[in-house]
Structure 1
């Protein structure tokens, strides 16, 4: 383990080894000088991965609760391995919970961009339909508030977006940029001042403390056994197609712009979830391109390089085929060609290369439903 603590950061990582059915723990060392990392097996007391550069992994990829895709394994960062790293990185970093309330799709996109620009990174996200029980739990601090019955009426049975947000002093920062409960009293330039209507339709809720944030996150993003009963995904599986905002675009804060583009194109989002796709699943998903598209290997590596957001998309004009129409607004697979021929498409505006082209969409009309089922039925299990 060469190198002093001054030029490396050290974390505790966990990997669930399916074959052995046990959790393996590692020291994960990150070297900022050349963006390399290495892993040391704590139980076997030996080097597990020698210093290597992993695409897409930078210093800001490391925070408590992050899941990193390292050489075919999903490693969850669960702690700091030394006080030095904790002091440098985690002094003020917090995790909190927020809900984007029902509202116009373009405003939802703008709010997501607003969070990113103010230092809050979305690390989990899901669209779900709230029951009145869900509203009572999440908004438990407001049960005695005179607006609560109206809030319960507004949210019960409606689709909302739940978010895990990570950033410096995330709880206070979230409250600061969201603004006063009443949009008329909110500081100019805050989310509620910009987009809110009244104290019920005020766009965003954020957990009032770190403790309630942790409880809210556990409730909204339950472990696998509870996923089928609480705050389920909302896929309709009808005249739909799949859109994936790729990991590089998520890291670059382009999710909001993609959602605005989907809205402008005349489409609704009927289901949404943030996934971390394992390499084996990415290879299976892109199998139709194997041996046909030279970028196949790069596409698989990109899709499994970090969190992506998958969406079920439905055309507002019910007489049209969603998959066919949606392909038109996504544009050619090469963003350079898209910028020349179709400058208003999503890939023209948000893509960088044929591999990092910001969004995936279903190629063939008959693939739309199959791809939605792959993400919202198979991978969710």
Structure 2
């Protein structure tokens, strides 16, 4: 317990804390009960939430008591964004997303054993709170000057969109959550992203005013790339943890494609590798960057953490099979579809010629070029070398009845889809 804060600092998981000396002392005396909140404002968590889940797990592994709060109440409002009011989702939608988020969160924490984590829903104590009780018992402890000074609130008030009372009140609801968890479970630490600092302080101040107790808040940095750009955006949007929104194959590829400048830092943040292991991987980056050992380790560990070892194995098998180092026929339809989703493709008729498929997919510029590729031994369908330029995509050679993976040379890929 005494070393966990140093470990979190080394991993780059600490940005701010209310009183680090007092927090360090509390953690050393431990166990400390702590929590982080996850609002169901979408049907899935994303890579930003993953940072918080990993932080929760580090603290639990150090012997502290974890609470993951799923915001069935706060999810109906959403915290203020940099610009524009949120679209309020229906109660039915929020309830559905709450259960999905609860299931996701539960996979990252140990809910059994000697130190089980709790997963709670703030709707349990917020739904019965009347407007009068809210104003008398909670609202009187908040000062408008302090609330208006919070960065996000101040920026929104200066904008053309302004800020509704609904979103303005979000910080009070989050304060209520911290106080309720303090009263129920002696929770004395809240964690969150650095953009949540003002909301975290709301609970710290409410507990100080109503309970006369000093509690703690700690944030993680917002993750950026080495060049200062935002981390985690893809062409398809956010890096979702739900395999229905982002396939394990695409998820793995995202982590595999991280730069040498970023990969060591991301290994510290997103994996549970030891210092010695990460230092060895750092040497690999410096001495053998072409081998991309650190990137493959990062992709393997994070994909396994989020999707499980079986899904990771399937992804690796698919990656190898695409380039002739495994059997394409052994890939299930979902993995094959995900593995080929970003490849150039041609939609062809049943029985189409291989030459047409190569031309239509853009692998070769013309049939003449396709014939030369076949003659040179550099054309493949489903990793089988094509030797006849009159060859066709017969039904029996298609994967799952409709796919053919086309390859020119060792690395240039496309897919033909029979429709």
Fold shared by both chains (TM-score > 0.5) = no
TM-score (norm 2): 0.25
| Higher share of residues assigned helix | 2
TM-score (norm 1): 0.26
**Which of structures 1 and 2 has the bigger CA Rg?**
2
**Of Structure 1 and Structure 2, which has the larger fraction of its residues in strand?**
1
